Amino acid sequence: MNIVREFRIVRLIAALKQDIKNAEELLDYIDGELSHCRDEEKESAFRRMRPIVLQALDQKEFMRDKLKADLEELKDILGLAAIEAAMYMRSVRTLLGVRKTIAGDLCLTEAGLPSLVNKADLTDDPLMFTLENCRTANTACAPYIRSLDQHVCDNEDQILKEKARKSARTKYRTYCNLINSELKKHEMYADLNVKEYARLTTTRLCLSSHNLAMERGR
């Protein structure tokens, strides 16, 4: 198992919970109709439908419990910190609008974010707003988000920049030497007048996540 699978498990568990809720509501509806139905044809149809829905409900509950067990096993194998960091980086890449293959260090440097969320410093950040909503709504990732409150971000910015400068990878060298030599957060990320499509295009170009017409055969 790996972190990618962990994300899939969380999403599947959430989807199964919704399916289970829908099946339970359907069963309640069927039982309600059977209690006062006077049409023999409709009553027969409801009676045929009930065991089918009940079987589907049992299967979904079994799958949900199995996935929860897999998730706990994965947390034991990888450690909670690794899962937290991976989920955070997935959110950062999504906000920037870049491919999931783009190096996490460069994404953090470009966005001017720490390696993990520091709630005290990011109360007005869109990502923090989203994470807070997930926390208060008690979503599947809420336990991971709550544990981030204990994370200390001292000196992480400097460590992150040093790591980027010392890397021999081509994208790191291009970013550090040609695109953002000072490794500073661009002003456009704090400028509300910048259109999102323009910001997205610029970010993708800076992080080498853009699509060249030549590569797309155009």
What is the b/e burial string over 10-43, where b = at least 16 CB atoms within 10 angstroms of the residue's CB?
bebbeebeebbeebeebbeebeebeeebeeeeee
Q: How many helices (H) and strands (E) does the chain have?
A: 9, 0
Q: How many CA atoms lie within 13 A of 75 on its CB side?
A: 14
Q: Give the separation between CA 98 and CA 100, rounded to whole angstroms.
A: 7
Q: What is the pLDDT of residue 4?
A: 46
34 in Cβ contact with 43 (< 8 Å)? yes
Look at the pTM and tell me if it is higher than 0.85: no
∠ CA(135), CA(139), CA(145), 5° rounding? 40
Identify which has the larger pLDDT, 27 or 80: 27
How many Å apart are CA 50 and CA 81, to the nearest integer? 44
For 46-89, the pLDDT digits (tens) are 888 889 988 988 888 888 888 777 776 666 555 555 666 677 78
Residue spans per domain, the chain: 3-78, 83-186
- The per-residue pLDDT for 1 is 40
Are 118 and 153 in contact by the 8 Å Cβ rule? The answer is yes
Lowest mean pLDDT among 103-112, 117-126, 203-212: 117-126
Determine the pLDDT at residue 120: 42
Share of the chain above pLDDT 90, in %: 0
